[in-house]
């Protein structure tokens, strides 16, 4: 059993990772801004401890948490469309990341993990590997890249192992309602017309439950590999295809009569996602336990029942 500290524990990916780690028999310390929200989302578990702290107070966490093995930093302000290009907000995130890293060392953590983003790569037309030169255009993407560049220097100084996860498009039960998948499901179930971009670019979706499994496995790898110091991993699936294919698949699943107005929206920057996950696959095996269609069906059932079913990875149905 290991002890994990997780900031942003009530975020979409954070809540899935908390469930996964508890299911594996680990102890989890969830760092949140609101205890009532955490209790409502994460439930009650004998191996779960909730600690309240704002992002600017991470330097005081060692006074609340005696010891831990891994510090997973998911908290990040300004992730919505209204904050992604606010420089002051994004710069503050970098400072909080470095403060969290220093706090992790004081707690005795051997490994620091943070959530980067595909936004660090910017606009790429070809396959994206971890070595692809980064060209972020948003303040959000630039800050995520800057956090990695500053973090790897600090981690080296602190003798702290460091995993930087470049997470692509996650989806699944409990996702934010404003995401493309959730918006399409909601409107298609009501047979409403939808204005969309041309949706011709390549895209990649990964179920958040699988992302949690990958992150757990990577933490084990980083802790158990004597030579490990710091590394970047793309977190994505093997299912890359034109974005329009995913939209049309949702329409088929929902038996919707929605009119899809492709091209009604013309984005300034057209992002294409075609990630290479060779490194990730070599350590975690199959990248997906459920198909895109199966996860969309899970989301629809969850929306109707009001519950969020969680299938432990070891018993999850395998995709064909």
Q: Nearest 5°: phi and psi at 173?
A: -60, 130
Contact status, residue 233 vs residue 165, Cβ threshold 8 Å: yes
Task: Specify the DSSP class assigned to residue 133.
Answer: P
Range name among 73-82, 93-102, 276-285 with the lowest pLDDT average: 73-82
Q: Tell me: the pLDDT tens digits for 172-216?
A: 999 999 999 999 999 999 999 999 999 999 999 999 999 999 999
Average pLDDT of the chain, as a whole number: 92
* Residue 225, CA atoms < 13 Å, CB-side half-sphere: 16
Predicted local confidence at residue 304, as pLDDT: 59
Neighbour order of strands in the sheet with 202-207 = 169-171, 202-207, 240-242
Q: Which residue has the tokens 């396959």?
A: 127
3-state secondary structure of 227: coil
User: Cβ–Cβ contacts within 10 Å for residue 274, how many?
Assistant: 17
At 231-243, the pLDDT tens digits run: 999 999 999 999 9
Residue 163 contacts residue 230 (beta carbons within 8 Å):
yes
Cα-based torsion angle of the residue sequence 123, 129, 135, 140 in order, rounded to the nearest 10 degrees:
90
- Write the CA distances from 124 to 196, 265, 274, integer angstroms: 21, 20, 8
Q: Is the pLDDT of residue 313 over 60?
A: no
**Nearest CA among 85, 72, 66 for reference residue 8:** 72
Banded pLDDT at 320 (limits 50, 70, 90): very low
Three-state DSSP class for residue 209: helix
Q: In which element (H, E) is residue 160 found?
A: none
User: In a 10 Å sphere around its CB, with 0-12 CB exposed, 13-18 middle and 19+ buried, how is residue 183 labelled?
Assistant: middle
Q: Regarding predicted confidence, which is higher, 37 or 52?
A: 52
pTM of the model: 0.91
Is 140 within 8 Å of 116 (Cβ atoms)? no
Residues 6+ apart with CB under 8 A from 289: 207, 209, 210, 213, 313, 316, 317, 318, 319
Task: Give SS3 for 303.
Answer: helix
Contact 312, 23 (CB under 8 A): yes
Radius of gyration (Cα) for the chain, nearest Å?
19
pLDDT per residue over 57-86, tens digit each? 999 999 999 999 999 999 999 887 777 888
The pLDDT assigned to 271 comes to 84
Q: Which two tokens stand for residue 175?
A: 């996702």
Each residue of 18-36: pLDDT tens digit? 999 999 999 999 999 887 8
Residue 95, CA atoms < 13 Å, CB-side half-sphere: 10
CA-wise closest residue to 158 among 215, 100, 222, 93: 100
pLDDT-above-70 percentage for the chain: 94
What average pLDDT does range 251-277 have in this prediction?
Answer: 93
Query: What are the counts of helices (DSSP H) followed by strands (DSSP E) for the chain?
Result: 9, 12
- Residue 34, pLDDT score: 84
- pLDDT over 70 (residue 309): no
Task: Yes or no: say if 49 and 29 are a contact pair by the CB < 8 Å rule.
Answer: yes
pLDDT at 306: 42
Output the six-digit token pair for 122: 């910017």
> What order of strands is seen across the sheet that includes strand 3-7?
48-52, 27-32, 3-7, 70-73, 111-117, 161-167, 230-235
């Amino acid at each position: 059993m290991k002890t994990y500290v997780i900031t942003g524990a009530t975020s979409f990916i954070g809540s899935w990772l908390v469930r996964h780690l508890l299911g594996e028999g680990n102890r989890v310390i969830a760092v949140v801004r609101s205890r009532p929200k955490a209790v409502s989302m994460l439930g009650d578990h004998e191996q779960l401890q909730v600690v309240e702290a704002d992002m600017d107070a991470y330097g005081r966490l060692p006074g609340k948490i005696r010891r831990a093995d891994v510090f997973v930093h998911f908290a990040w302000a300004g992730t919505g469309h209204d904050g992604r290009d606010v420089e002051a907000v994004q710069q503050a995130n970098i400072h909080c990341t470095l403060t969290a890293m220093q706090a992790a060392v004081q707690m005795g953590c051997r490994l620091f993990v943070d959530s980067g983003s595909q936004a660090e790569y910017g606009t790429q037309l070809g396959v994206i590997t971890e070595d692809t030169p980064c060209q972020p255009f948003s303040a959000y993407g630039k800050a995520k890249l800057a956090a990695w560049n500053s973090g790897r220097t600090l981690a080296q100084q602190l003798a702290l192992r460091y995993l930087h996860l470049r997470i692509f498009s996650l989806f699944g039960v409990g996702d934010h309602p404003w995401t493309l998948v959730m918006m399409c499901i909601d409107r298609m179930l009501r047979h409403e017309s939808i204005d969309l971009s041309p949706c011709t670019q390549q895209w990649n979706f990964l179920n958040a439950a699988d992302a949690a499994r990958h992150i757990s496995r990577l933490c084990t790898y980083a802790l158990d590999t004597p030579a490990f110091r710091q590394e970047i991993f793309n977190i994505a699936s093997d299912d890359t295809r034109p974005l329009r294919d995913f939209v049309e698949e949702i329409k088929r699943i929902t038996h919707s009569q929605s009119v899809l107005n492709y091209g009604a929206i013309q984005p300034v920057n057209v992002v294409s996602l075609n990630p290479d996950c060779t490194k990730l696959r070599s350590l975690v095996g199959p990248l997906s336990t459920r198909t895109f269609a199966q996860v969309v069906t899970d989301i629809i059932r969850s929306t109707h029942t009001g519950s969020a079913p969680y299938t432990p990875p070891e018993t999850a149905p395998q995709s064909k």
